[in-house]
Amino acid sequence: MESKPRLIEEHIQKNKRDTVVICMLMIILLFSVFFAIGLILGAPPILTMMIGLPVALFYIFITYSFSIQSVISAAGARPANPQNREEKLLIYKVEEMALAAGLPTPKVYVQESKDINAFATGHKPADAIVCATTGCLQQLNTEELEGVIGHEMSHIMNRDILVMTVTVGVVGAIALIAEIAIRMLFWSGGSSGNKKGGGNIIVVVIAIIFIILAPIFSRLTYLAISRKREYLADADGAYLTRNPLGLAKALEKIKADVPDDPKGSKTVAPLYISNPFKRALRDSIWSTHPPLDERIRRLRAM
């Protein structure tokens, strides 16, 4: 047990390094999409690079700056009301888990939904937000709610919130830009790339293939990160609460709770403790979360 804080600190440092790598990867992917569009339109490569790189960096900066507001808006969440008994208990549990993790107390939000769920977002612990659904407050007992909040606090402690919050915006942007590029190509009939002869056609074909594959690759990368960090947050959340069964029981209720009242956008689904639109019952590269049965098994084995 004494080695656990050192292990968590190692995870935090590793996550910080991973965050830099992932952000660089997303910048390269976003820039590459712009560069491919320039090739398709017949623009000089140097000009495309001079325009594409600053635009990609600027978009990453904008995504970073407004990511928290975007997530809260997409989720349709509101600040918790301390006058409401259930929401006051949520505030207390967040304060308790923040104290256990040695972190500043995050802001507490509530999402109006009958489904059991929760998520954390932010750039760093100082501006983090923890949000729980009304279904989570109404259907979980104190032990289970503590397990869920411990899980979300672990995402903050491990610095998962930065990479997940920023990446969700970049992945969406890559998909949107790629779709616009494909539509432009369709309506132009590929005429821009055909003016410079057969050699240029090969380059254009490669660019088109990249534009089609870039959104898929970026999303698969994002989902893989999400699944891996859920396991770590489960384990560290159990350490914070000193009670892995609390989260295990909460996940069992989430598994039995078929999502019939999902709110918000599917774009932010990977941020939740469980996909609010579809429960992960088996392992898949397209899943936003690891299988619930496996998560429960690991918690009960602690």
List the alpha helices (DSSP H) in 102-197: 134-139, 142-157, 160-188
Exposure letters 247-261 (e unless 16+ CB within 10 A, then b): bbbbbbbbbebebee
Q: For helices 142-157 and 85-101, what crossing angle results, to 10°?
A: 50
Give dist(CA 278, CA 213) in Å, integer. Answer: 24
Residues 38-53 have a mean pLDDT of 76
- Report the pLDDT value the prediction gives residue 146, as an integer from 0 to 100: 95
**What crossing angle do the helices spanning 85-101 and 198-241 adopt, rounded to 10°?**
100
What percent of the chain clears pLDDT 90, i.e. is strictly above it? 30
Mean pLDDT calculated for residue range 66-89: 90
- Max CA separation in the chain (angstroms): 71
Whether 273 contacts 151, CB under 8 Å: yes
- Which is more confident, 272 or 91? 91
Whole-angstrom distance, CA of residue 286 vs CA of residue 154: 24
Strand partners, 120: 130
pLDDT digits over 34-44, tens only? 777 777 777 77
- What is the average pLDDT across 104-117? 94
Rounded average pLDDT over 17-29: 75
Share of the chain above pLDDT 70, in %: 79
Lowest mean pLDDT among 9-13, 132-136, 162-166: 9-13
Given this model, what pLDDT does residue 262 score?
Answer: 67
CATH number, span 74-160+225-300: 3.30.2010.10
Residue numbers annotated as active site: 152
Domains of the chain: which residue ranges? 4-69+164-221, 74-160+225-300
pTM equals 0.78
pLDDT of residue 103: 93
174-212: per-residue pLDDT in tens? 777 777 767 766 665 555 555 544 445 766 676 677 677
- Mean pLDDT across the chain: 80
- Cβ 182 vs Cβ 212: under 8 Å: yes
Contacts of 28 (CB under 8 A, 6+ apart): none
What residues contact 241, with CB distance under 8 A and at least 6 apart? Answer: 97, 100, 146, 147, 150, 247
Q: Are 216 and 264 in contact (CB under 8 A)?
A: no
Residue with tokens 């979300």, as numbered in its chain: 152
Query: Is the pLDDT score of 124 beyond 50?
Result: yes
The pLDDT of residue 91 is above 90: yes
Q: What is the pLDDT of residue 198?
A: 46
Residue pLDDT, tens place only, 252-282? 999 888 767 667 777 777 788 888 877 555 5
